[in-house]
Amino acid sequence: MNKSIKSMIKPVVDIFMTVLLLFLMGYQFWGETAHEWAGTLMLLLFIAHHILNAGWYKNIFRGRYTPIRIIMTVINLALLVAMLCLMGSGIMMSRHVFSFLSVSSGMGTARLVHMAACYWGFVLMSLHLGLHWGMMMTKMRQSLCITGPSRIRTVILRIVAAAIAVYGAYVFISRNLITYMLLQTQFVFLDFGESPIFFYIEYLAMAGLFVWIAYYLTMIFRRKKKEYRKAD
């Protein structure tokens, strides 16, 4: 595939995957059928994402592993495992899209795997986005024709990002997501009377928290790398 075409398709696939993940988290608003079809589309986009990024797998055993590269590799591989578990368990439990497979055994295990993988996938995908956030912001600035640096803009954006991260941490704790991730409970509490707008604002805040963590973690390591180079 032509590199320019690939560079155009990749961000589109990634954006749709992110939007779909958020949609899938709100199972209680859209119902089982919509959830399964959205999950199937996620599976197709997931396959496309890995085909488009096949070069990453080719180079996984090449080159030197810096702290940033180690973090990226661990998160990427953990996300791969979470998504495979999520999709495999989803196919097993399917009552609509994959009902022709007629899977009848292992439903209890599949449900628990699906629950844990769902929340792990959400956290890991957010961290994955955070690792590439700097590059995404650079492309956004270029598309908006923002060239020169602005101290005021930087300060405002950092304050907003920190506020989102703090709120995201509060929501993560209040919604008790860690209990689902560690399978400390066997059932997810779904509030069918909750406002979808409020729900997605809170999930965007949680995603923002993990994007913020991953982004500033990479910034810290890059600064240390520059300091070591200057010292040499």
| 201-223: pLDDT as tens digits | 999 999 999 999 999 998 888 77
pLDDT of residue 207: 96
Rounded CA gap, 224 and 207, in Å?
A: 26
Please give the residue that has the higher pLDDT: either 80 or 148: 80
Rounded CA gap, 72 and 68, in Å?
A: 6
Look at 25-29, 53-57, 163-167 and tell me which has the smallest mean pLDDT.
53-57
Given a cut of 70, whether residue 39 has pLDDT beyond it is yes
Cβ-Cβ contacts under 8 Å for 99 (sequence gap 6 or more): none
Rounded CA gap, 40 and 37, in Å?
A: 5
Contact 119/181 with Cβ under 8 angstroms? yes
pLDDT of residue 225: 66
CB atoms within 10 A of CB 71: 17
